[in-house]
Chain A
Amino acid sequence: MSSIESTSPGGAAVLVRPATPEPPPPEIVSERARIDESCAVPCLVWFASSLFWLLVATVFGLVASLKLHIPGMHAEQAWLTFGRIRPVHLNLVAYGWGAMAAIGVMLWLMARLSRVPLRWPAALVFAAGFWNLGLLLGTIAILAGDSQGIEWLEFPTYVAFLLFVGFAITAVWALMTFAQRRVEHVYVSQWYMFGALFWFPWLYATVQVLLLLVPVKGVPQAAINWWFGHNVLGLWFTPIGLATAYYLIPKVIGRPIYSYYLSIMGFWTLAAFYNWAGIHHLISGPVPAWLVTVSTVGSMMMIIPVATVAVNHHMTMRGSFHLLRYSPTLRFVVFGSMAYTIVSLQGAFMALRVYNEPFHFTHHTIGHAHLGVYAFFTMIMFGAIYYIVPRLTGREWASSRLIKIHFWTTAVGITLMFLVLSIGGMIQGFEMNQASASLGSLMDEHGFFGGVYEFFGGFEVQNGAVPFLDIVAGTIPWLVLRSLTGVLILVGHVAFVILVVRNVHAWGKQRRGGPTLFHELPATATPALATTTATTTQTPAGGEERA
């Protein structure tokens, strides 16, 4: 492969033409095309389902958010009360959008990295059917009042069975694909995916048995609940998110990871430390102090794997940040990776008693959770879908503008949501625990800056000095702002769904070739869905368009 590399005076890499472009051997192009073809139907089914549940979950989330500052809204309808709407939002984000997008991405990544097509893809569509049926029944059950009442586990046990069947099929398929691999080496993304495939059923089965089938009594219930609640993020969503980032960042910019050694160290340290965390959610609760301390230590130890990821991703991108202008996938994935560093470091410090005690029953924690599940995991999944779908359908994205709308509404929306909930929650926490008066009254008395200084800097600890209802009323402006950020995010999701629907169904003006660097495929290896498209024509710029 001939190449000419150039670096600008500022150290940034620039695009230059090679002296002699060399087309890839046809068998390599065919191999890639066969793998993508085998993934097309199952991955698109998992992606389409995940996007459906994402839209439903977003609407439920927005309604739940509105009800926090308009409590009378639909209050007469039992199924629309906050206690049902909010768990539906949580479970559909976790098991609907998050898990289904993760499985779709994982199947494609595993096939690509193993360099073998997925066998019997129909079974994976069947698995998606089980999963979707579980989500539908679970949602109806919660809305009908048949919730388990345990956070993250509100779906009834019969739903868990359906999810297990769906998961078992996909896990077996992923492992079978790996077993048939044509490359000896196990790339770091595969290590993370193995971890996730192994850890999720272990976590989910443990809590199903210990909390629902043969429930333990008393305090251990809360300990197990939060061990699961925390680890489902760290040992399911996090490994899939990192596996995706470790594949896509180097792949998109065309440069290997800065330090493969660090990436492997990051995986094994995550495996060693994350499982200890979770019980710090019960700081000041009626659990043994040593249990909380062990969990806090585990959380602080997580700084090691987080640092390896942060250093690695930053150094891999160094000199290539200007490419964020050109690549939608890179924008979303780099945003997600940066959010991972922030949320993980914040999470480690939130496990300290001094940080946790004032804020753990406030909106501050909700902001942290959204930073993790959305700004980190969801944004990386968006980036992955932008990369994968054109390769499955053989069609380019229809609109740059819609992609940019999607990126900016979600990026700005989630950033503002995090800030609003963090600041509002911090004020709420101070007022509940140590402020001598509410922020509002101190501002009235001392002016804006004087009031803020007195509130945060006074440290005149008078627990209970601010009436609880005043504290609740003080959160309303922050909750209104949070709803507005939710609207922004909903707009982004609608734009994304429009893009995917247009791509899959080839609606409207479509592009083929060009941006994602498709090489001309042999006639026998055209991606399955591309056969439904109309004839393409070469444009003067070398790309292809069709109407």
Chain B
Amino acid sequence: MLTVYYILVFTFLGLFSTSVVLAFWWAVRKGEFRNFKEQAAAIFDADEPEGRLTDVFPGMREVAETNRKGAQVG
């Protein structure tokens, strides 16, 4: 039984470590560790752009409407 455990544990340990190394290698090759400034802004687009507050309490009309018309949050 002990042998089965050893095989199980070390097989999965090997698979796990290999997959981590592969993921890291893939990230390096794909340039995931370059152009950090651009990458940080990847979540914004013309619909929900930088500088816009995109969540406001209902009822806070003034702030919300200011933003709806394209106001900027510095």
Contacts and interface: CB of A to CB of B under 8 A. Distances in A.
B69 interface: yes
Contact of B65 (A5, A183, A271, A541): A541
A368 interface: no
Contacts of B47: 24, 28-29, 31-32, 519
A505 to B, nearest CB: 17
A199 B43 CA distance: 25
Contact of A256 (B19, B50, B54): B50
Contact of B43 (A250, A327, A386): A250
A1 B72 CA distance: 10
Contact of A15 (B24, B39, B63): B63
A74 interface: no
A326 B53 contact: yes
Interface stretch (A345-353, A393-401, A472-480): A393-401
A204 to B, nearest CB: 13
A113 interface: yes
A351 B54 CA distance: 40
A180 to B, nearest CB: 16
A271 to B, nearest CB: 7
Contacts of A183: 42
Nearest to B38: A185
A228 B72 CA distance: 46
Contacts of A361: none
Given A202-B16, A256-B41, A261-B36, A515 B55 contact: yes
A264 B33 contact: yes
A14 B74 contact: yes
Contacts of A264: 32-33, 36
A542 interface: yes
Given A15-B73, A21-B70, A327-B56, A257 B40 contact: yes
A441 interface: no
B48 A251 contact: yes
B40 A256 contact: yes
A328 B55 contact: yes
Contact of B45 (A14, A28, A185): A28
B24 A268 contact: yes
B14 interface: no
Contacts of A273: none
Contacts of A160: none
Contacts of B71: 15-18
B54 A516 contact: yes
Contact of B68 (A16, A184, A514): A514
A184 to B, nearest CB: 7
A24 B45 CA distance: 9
Contacts of A271: 20
Contacts of B66: 15, 17
Interface in A259-285: 259-261, 263-264, 268, 271
B50 A328 contact: no
A184 B12 CA distance: 30
A254 B40 contact: no
Contacts of B40: 250, 256-257, 260, 263
A254 B68 contact: no
A387 B55 contact: yes
A247 interface: yes
Interface in A238-252: 247, 250-252
B29 interface: no
Nearest to A112: B43
Contacts of B59: 400, 515
A516 B56 contact: yes
A261 B37 CA distance: 9
Contacts of A323: 53, 73
Contacts of A5: 51, 72, 74
A56 B48 CA distance: 37
Contacts of A22: 70
Contacts of A194: 23
Contact of A113 (B43, B54, B62, B73): B43
Nearest to B35: A185
B60 to A, nearest CB: 6
A327 B56 CA distance: 4
B42 A185 contact: yes
A266 B61 CA distance: 38
B32 to A, nearest CB: 6
Contact of A514 (B51, B61, B74): B61
B20 to A, nearest CB: 7
Nearest to B73: A254
A424 B1 CA distance: 45
Contacts of B16: 202
B58 to A, nearest CB: 5
14 contacts: A15-B66, A185-B38, A185-B39, A186-B30, A202-B12, A214-B1, A254-B54, A254-B73, A256-B50, A264-B33, A320-B73, A327-B56, A400-B60, A511-B58
Given A252-B55, A260-B40, A323-B73, 16 more contacts: A3-B72, A7-B74, A17-B66, A22-B70, A186-B27, A198-B19, A206-B12, A254-B51, A254-B52, A271-B20, A319-B74, A328-B57, A400-B58, A514-B56, A516-B55, A517-B52
The 10 closest A-B pairs by CB, nearest first: A21-B70, A5-B74, A256-B40, A24-B46, A13-B74, A260-B40, A260-B36, A515-B56, A541-B61, A327-B55
